[in-house]
Structure 1
Amino acid sequence: MTKSVLLVGVGGQGTILASKLLTTGLMEAGYDVKMSEIHGMSQRGGSVSSQVRYGDSVCSPVIEIGGADILVSFEKMEALRWLEYLKPEGKIVYNNYRMDSMPVLTGKAEYKENEIEAELERLDARKLNAADKAVELGNAKVMNIILLGALVKSMELEHINWENIIRDNVKEKFVDINIKAFNEGMKLVTKEALATN
């Protein structure tokens, strides 16, 4: 059975690195994996999405509308922007973090924070404070790895040796902080929280 994971965010948040680590781990575990990525104006605060599909045999890397088992949003407004791709019974995990996109920065769009949060609550989305946790760890840039840890726990993929994947794919001086971040992300997702989603 094929599982579909959609990771979305704003350029500069490390969405692509997280999805590449996920893909590498899944491949090393013996899954057939296909990944596709869309960079909007990713260098300038544009929308970025990564689609990862894995299973025994995966034909297409593209997640159709209504096909994602889980939507992991690195920025809260992006969760709603990509909502149509989620299965009716799919899970939403989102980072409680605001990063204004180009349309908001240029005044062409408004960031309705209260409405976004109310809608995510209505959808029973799982809110994570990955940005705060990253700052606590001493490096705001590891927010993406915290979210990767939460995703791994949410999809019950703990059997894969993620520590080795991080060691092999991250610059040596950042390995320890990234492993710490990954483990913190795993801790943010409890079995009780999964049962309610």
Structure 2
Amino acid sequence: MTRDKTKTTNVLVVGTGGQGVITASEILSDVAMLSGFDTKKSEIHGMSQRGGVVTSHVRYSETVYSPMIMEGEADILLSFELAETVRWLHFLQPDGRVISNRQRIIPPAIYAGMGSYPEDAENVIRQRTTDPIFVDALPLAETLGNPRLVNTILLGIASTLLDLPLDQWTAVIARRVPATFKALNLEAFEKGRGIQ
């Protein structure tokens, strides 16, 4: 996605506690800053330690005044969990793109009988967006040897839609992950870049 440098790019990252949402948004923010953009990030942890909703807003441009993305303004909705994708679709702009992990995490409230999981989530997303990208990131991460690679795989996909240099992505990932996992994370990132 090549944009006018004065236009703000808005990426909303969503998921549940423990999935790596905050780490992913921190990596994205670092990449944008190192690429010369004014970058703002805001996050809401909710009850993240108990599998609650976690959201992070990342915005970058020549100048950004607010860290918050307004409804209908997200260029990309990067989601770690299918129901969370549906929950946050209203933040997407009309020509925005969805990248969604197919993982389903049933919240405690549903187990307690206070609602139901949207069984037709993918159809809802397809009806309300153009060209959504769905990925089975958890099985792919497990195949690579570590389920925590989901966020790096999803960032790899996002990197193909954003106007940020590839070398900045790899530099930030290499710097942010423990040295023993650097090669594995870079491999996961490249796997993500190959998904369309």
Q: CA deviation at 1:119?
A: 0.8
SS at match of 1:154: coil
Q: Is the 8 A contact 1:153 1:186 kept in 2?
A: yes
1:74-117 CA-to-partner distances (Å, cap 9, x unmatched) read: 0010011111111111111111111112322333121132x212
Q: CA deviation at 1:158?
A: 4.0
RMSD between superposed Cα atoms in Å? 1.3
The 5 Å alignment of 1:37-52 reads 37-52=43-58
Runs (4+) of structure 1 exceeding 6 A deviation are none
Equivalent of residue 93 in structure 2, options 87, 90, 93:
87
1:33-65 CA-to-partner distances (Å, cap 9, x unmatched) read: 000001111111111101000011111000011
Identity fraction in percent: 41
* Structure 2 residue 175 is the aligned partner of structure 1 residue 168: yes
* Structure 2 residue 137 is the aligned partner of structure 1 residue 130: yes
The 5 Å alignment of 1:86-165 reads 86-113=92-119, 115-122=120-127, 123-124=129-130, 125-165=132-172
2:3 maps to none
Unaligned runs of 5+ in 2: 1-6
* Structure 2 residue 71 is the aligned partner of structure 1 residue 65: yes
Q: Give the whole-Å Cα distance in 1 for the aligned partners of 2:175 and 2:82.
A: 30
Number of aligned residue pairs: 188
TM-score by length of 2: 0.91
Q: Give the whole-Å Cα distance in 2 for the aligned partners of 1:86 and 1:112.
A: 19
2:189 maps to 182
Q: CA deviation at 1:160?
A: 4.0
Equivalent of residue 17 in structure 1, options 20, 23, 39:
23
SS at match of 2:19: coil
Q: Give the whole-Å Cα distance in 1 for the aligned partners of 2:118 and 2:97.
A: 23
